[in-house]
Amino acid sequence: AAGYLPKLMAESLPEDILIDILLRVPAELLARFKFVCKRWRSLISDPGFAKSHLQRLKAGDLIPSQRIFIGRLYGSHETIDYAALDGSEGGVVVPHRIKTIRPLCDCHVVGSCDGLVCLYLEGNLYRDYPTTILIYNPATRECNELRCPEFAQDSEFREYRENESFHGIGYDPRSDDYKIVEGIRGFDYKIVEGIHEVEFFWEAAIFSLKSGSWRSINFPIEEESGFSVSGNGVYWKGALHWYVYDYFRPVIISLDLSEEKFNRVLSVPKVNRVGFFSGLGIHGTSLFMYNSRCDNHIEAWITDEYGRGGSWTKWFSVDRLPTFRDAAPLAYTRSGQIVFLINVKRAIMFNPEDNTYKDYPIRMDDCFEYAIYSETLVSPYLGG
């Protein structure tokens, strides 16, 4: 009888009042509310409701619930409450068991968009595992497993794909569709006047969640070989962005997801110190780049402007980090501290006010990658 009255009240509320109430509830709770009754399940599962909930979230009518998705190469996955980063216990950690057709090994985190986290699973020639992409909503636990384009399944591509592939996930507002991008560097052997030569080229394709199919797109700088593309694209201002490293002409390229065309959009900041840019990230509504050095120094620049005339402002400069081969800013807390990922396996919390740091309590028994996402009801199947 104790559970009968709340259920009766849930079923008797007028629909317009019920919808208005539910649209104020965080996505993670709404996923649980589906089990209150059939009526609530039908309302919350409706794509139109999910879209309205997302619009309220983006408009600032809801308090955003952000989490960090932690993906491990050969192990389990979990999420951490972003708002609790300043705490000493590492936030609320929630384990995630993702049900897939093939084992979750050789798993890489690509990025996130509107609550959808994109994971990339390397193919395995010896175990006959295909290369696949997972679109996962941690709030609803829904997962869509996609087979990669045909060129990504080719054995020659797989052998030479390390640091020579790029990916991304973003939203196309014109078609109201979520799109996934994959690009891979390939090669051809040639014999010129008795000398063996290798000619490199790039293949790129885009997947539409609405159509459920891949199609090839042109990569604009395929004739150049002395460059590399940062692996994971950053979704900013309606386009995906990658850092293209070239000794003479480093640049940021973007892919307009509506036009499905690549463009060179931003020059990189001029750095006086010896070092190299390692990647891109998003802080609030701004794009940032970070530069790391072998003497345990890392710097970051940030911009709100778009186009070739965009200007960069130095965001932070840190000199006293633990010895590292690789360092990346993972998150920026509300109190102004910075969480760094060090050498893939270690996370530290750095306080720029007094140049001190402490280990951040993330389990370190395996290499991990991450993506920051907002909890939403967006479906990984229909993009709605």
242 to each of 82, 135, 167, 226, 252, how far by Cα in Å?
Answer: 25, 20, 9, 16, 6
Asked if residues 43 and 19 have their Cβ atoms less than 8 Å apart, the reply is: yes
pLDDT tens, N- to C-terminus, the chain (384 residues): 444 445 555 667 788 888 898 999 889 889 888 888 888 899 999 999 999 999 998 888 777 778 888 777 666 777 878 777 666 554 566 666 676 655 566 778 899 999 999 998 876 655 667 778 899 999 998 999 888 776 655 545 445 444 478 899 999 999 999 999 988 776 666 777 777 776 667 778 999 999 888 988 887 665 555 567 777 899 998 899 998 877 667 788 889 999 998 888 777 877 665 556 778 888 878 888 887 765 667 888 888 877 555 688 888 887 766 666 667 777 777 777 788 777 666 777 788 777 777 776 665 555 677 888 899 999 998 644
Q: Is the pTM of the predicted complex or chain greater than 0.95? A: no
306 with 167, same domain: the answer is yes
195 with 284, same domain: the answer is yes
Q: Is 215 helix (H, G, I), strand (E, B) or coil?
A: strand
118 with 17, same domain: the answer is no
Instruction: Supply the range of the domain harboring residue 111.
Output: 59-374
Q: For residue 380, tell me if it sits in a domain.
A: no
Instruction: Note the pLDDT of residue 294.
Output: 59
Q: Rounded CA gap, 10 and 37, in Å?
A: 8
- For residue 237, what is the domain's CATH number? 2.120.10.80
Q: Is 47 helix (H, G, I), strand (E, B) or coil?
A: helix
Determine phi and psi for 35, rounding to 5 degrees.
-95, 5
Instruction: Note the pLDDT of residue 2.
Output: 43
- C-alpha gyration radius of the chain: 22
Q: For residue 51, tell me if it sits in a domain.
A: no
**Tally of CB atoms within 10 A around 293:** 16
252 with 338, same domain: the answer is yes
Instruction: Note the pLDDT of residue 175.
Output: 93
DSSP string, 251-320: EEEEEETTTTEEEEEEEPPP--SS-EEEEEEEETTEEEEEEE-TTS-EEEEEE---STT---EEEEEE--
Instruction: Note the pLDDT of residue 176.
Output: 92
40 with 68, same domain: the answer is no
Determine phi and psi for 184, rounding to 5 degrees.
-135, 140
77 with 24, same domain: the answer is no
239 with 191, same domain: the answer is yes
133 to each of 180, 185, 327, 368, how far by Cα in Å?
Answer: 9, 18, 26, 17
Interaxial angle between packed helices 15-22 and 38-45, expressed in degrees from 0 to 180 and rounded to the nearest 10: 60
Instruction: Note the pLDDT of residue 154.
Output: 55
15 with 116, same domain: the answer is no
What is the 8-class DSSP label of residue 7?
Answer: H
Asked if residues 374 and 57 have their Cβ atoms less than 8 Å apart, the reply is: yes
170 with 238, same domain: the answer is yes
Instruction: Note the pLDDT of residue 258.
Output: 93
How far, in whole angstroms, is CA 120 from its chain's centroid? 11
172 with 258, same domain: the answer is yes
Domain count, the chain: 2
Q: For residue 383, tell me if it sits in a domain.
A: no
252 with 312, same domain: the answer is yes
36 with 135, same domain: the answer is no
Q: Which amino acid is at 286?
A: S
Map tokens 């979230």 to a residue: 57
Q: Which amino acid is at 106?
A: D
Q: For residue 331, tell me if it sits in a domain.
A: yes
What is the 8-class DSSP label of residue 160?
Answer: T
Q: For residue 270, tell me if it sits in a domain.
A: yes
